[in-house]
Amino acid sequence: MQRITISLDETLGEALDRMTADRAYGSRSEAVRDLVREGLERWRIEQPEGSHCVANLSYVVDRRVRGLPQRIADMQHAHHDLVASSMTVRLDHFHSLDTVVLKGATEAVRDFADRIRSERGIRLGSVNMLQVEPTDDHADAQDHRHHGHHHLSPLN
């Protein structure tokens, strides 16, 4: 078994202790192991095999972290080809919930989401990905012309 050491702020440590007691874990270590397992499973799910996807990236922003809102805006502008839409919900004086809808190459979407979630001051980041296939298929070929874009049809 490997031993690691982590530091938690007081609030997070108290929350971990409450969860440990509520779920009847024998120790903090058992609780943290389960949390790590859950996180790794979510990470595995985020590894779709398709080459294109649409995704919903959501995260909490601590606006007290110097320059963070501007860095996020700059990242979104730099990846305008991936960002289909974004929305911010103010939670209190210091925090907001940001949701960004992304579409594009799976690897590029995953990389963008990971970069956002790894920024200092970003909490509770999660991404839900749906594999899609860019296609021009229609039931009736006379439906319409695409003029340089594709439909993103969900994979089965």
Which class would CATH give 49-137+148-156?
alpha beta
Contact (Cβ atoms closer than 8 angstroms) between residue 59 and residue 123:
yes
Q: Which amino acid is at 63?
A: R
**What is the pLDDT, as a whole number, of residue 52?**
87
What count of other Cβ atoms lies within 10 Å of the Cβ of residue 143?
9
Averages of pLDDT over each 10 residues, the chain, 156 residues:
91 95 95 88 65 93 96 97 97 97 93 96 92 70 62 67
Which class would CATH give 8-45?
mainly alpha
Structure pTM?
0.67
| Domain map (residue ranges) of the chain | 8-45, 49-137+148-156
Nearest to 63 by CA among 87, 38, 93, 41: 93
